[in-house]
């Protein structure tokens, strides 16, 4: 297996694990809604014998999903573009795996354990920084190619 195949496989693995993590959070949201009987629509409340209301435990998990939408999806897109720059294997491994770890820890701190700040903010910042580094790398790569 050559270097580009290794990086692609790692990208596919990390992206798939991140999406799976999001799916788990979505199931957790549904499970929490069912256990608290806190629904967002009248028809769900009637069908499941609950009520239309907000519940902080549900909202916390829902916000973790929203945060993933704002961070994981851009990472997946930028990560794919980053592959086209043919980055060094070790650097790609560090960036992809660190992002994965940061996002898993962020979700745990936000939706499962509810850790005190700044732990959640640090995890978010690491992921945001990595996406930024890859974005700047792509821009620099393209500028150099054009010059």
pLDDT digits (tens, 9 = 90+) for 126-138: 999 999 999 999 9
pLDDT of amino acid 126: 99
C-alpha distances out from residue 24 to 64, 79, 103, Å: 11, 22, 13
pLDDT digits (tens, 9 = 90+) for 12-22: 999 999 999 99
Asked if residue 55 has pLDDT above 80, the reply is yes
Q: How far apart are the first and last CA of the chain?
A: 32
Decide if pLDDT at 1 tops 80.
no
Summarize pLDDT for 65-119 with one digit per residue, the tens: 999 999 999 999 999 999 999 999 999 999 999 999 999 999 999 988 877 889 9
Whole-model pTM: value is 0.93
Q: What is the CATH number of the domain that holds 80?
A: 1.20.120.550
Domain that holds residue 76: 3-146
Residues near 92 by Cβ (< 8 Å), separated by ≥ 6?
7, 10, 11, 82, 83
Q: How many domains does the chain have?
A: 1
Q: What is the pLDDT of residue 88?
A: 95
Residue 33: closest CA among 19, 47, 22, 21: 47
User: What pLDDT does 142 receive?
Assistant: 97
pLDDT of residue 2: 87
């Amino acid at each position: 297996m050559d270097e580009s195949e290794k990086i692609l496989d790692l990208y596919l693995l990390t992206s798939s694990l991140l999406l799976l993590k999001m799916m788990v959070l979505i199931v957790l949201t549904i499970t929490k809604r069912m256990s608290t009987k806190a629904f967002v629509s009248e028809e769900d409340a009637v069908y499941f014998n609950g009520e239309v209301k907000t519940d902080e435990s549900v909202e916390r998990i829902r916000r973790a999903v929203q945060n993933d939408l704002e961070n994981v999806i851009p990472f997946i897109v930028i990560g794919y573009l980053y592959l086209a720059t043919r980055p060094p294997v070790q650097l790609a491994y560090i960036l992809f795996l660190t992002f994965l770890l940061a996002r898993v820890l962020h979700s745990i701190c936000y939706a499962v354990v509810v850790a005190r700040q700044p732990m959640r903010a640090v995890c978010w910042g690491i992921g945001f920084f990595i996406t930024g580094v890859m974005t700047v790398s792509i821009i620099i790569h393209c500028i150099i190619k054009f010059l």
